Amino acid sequence: MSYEISDDCIGCGLCAKNCPSNVITGEIKDCFEIDPIMCEECGLCFEICPKGAILDPRGNRRETPAKKIGKLPKAAIDEKLCAGCQTCLVNCPREAISFVDQGMLKPGFCRVDADLCVSCGTCVKYCITSAAAMGKE
């Protein structure tokens, strides 16, 4: 028995991007699958899933802090700290980040669309100035 992706998957793709064996395939929600034969059962997908949607070989799921309180924190970008490099925008798996161009007199910044954000934390991981954070309003 191998790790398995449950119906709670939000389609962020973090499991597939971080799988060291490249055995997780798919591109959109409800389409991600783990090859049970090739899976080395390292557990990285289980630990990295922000929703706790991956079941371990015994059928258990990891309880995330967000599950305990019943809500996943959304990402936000502090526009005063944002360098405008757009690294978060390029790496966001759900295209939830847009760039606000303020013309030549002011630097642009990135902004998160909370309705599209799936709380995966990819923007936080790639932000070079720590402008992106989870749970900020």
In sequence order, what are the beta bridge partners of 111?
98
Structure tokens at 108: 């642009």
Q: Is the pLDDT of residue 74 over 70?
A: yes
Q: Which domains are delineated in the chain?
A: 1-65 (3.30.70.20), 75-134 (3.30.70.20)
Confidence grade of residue 97 (pLDDT, cut at 50, 70, 90): very high
Distance in angstroms (rounded) separating the CA atoms of residues 45 and 18: 7
pTM of the model: 0.59
The strand ranges marked E within 31-117 are 33-34, 54-55, 75-77, 97-100, 109-112
Q: Which amino acid is at 16?
A: A
Q: Considering only 29-38, 55-64, 65-74, which range has the smallest mean pLDDT?
A: 65-74
Query: Rounded to whole angstroms, how far apart are CA atoms 100 and 39?
Result: 41
- Give residue 13's pLDDT band: very low, low, confident or very high (50, 70, 90): confident
Q: What is the pLDDT of residue 70?
A: 55
What 8-state DSSP symbol labels residue 74? P
Sign of the Cα pseudo-torsion (83, 17, 48, 117, in order): positive
pLDDT of amino acid 124: 93
Indicate if the pLDDT at residue 125 is higher than 60. Answer: yes
Output the pLDDT for position 26: 82
Cα of 1 vs its chain's centroid, Å: 26
Q: What pLDDT does residue 137 have? A: 43
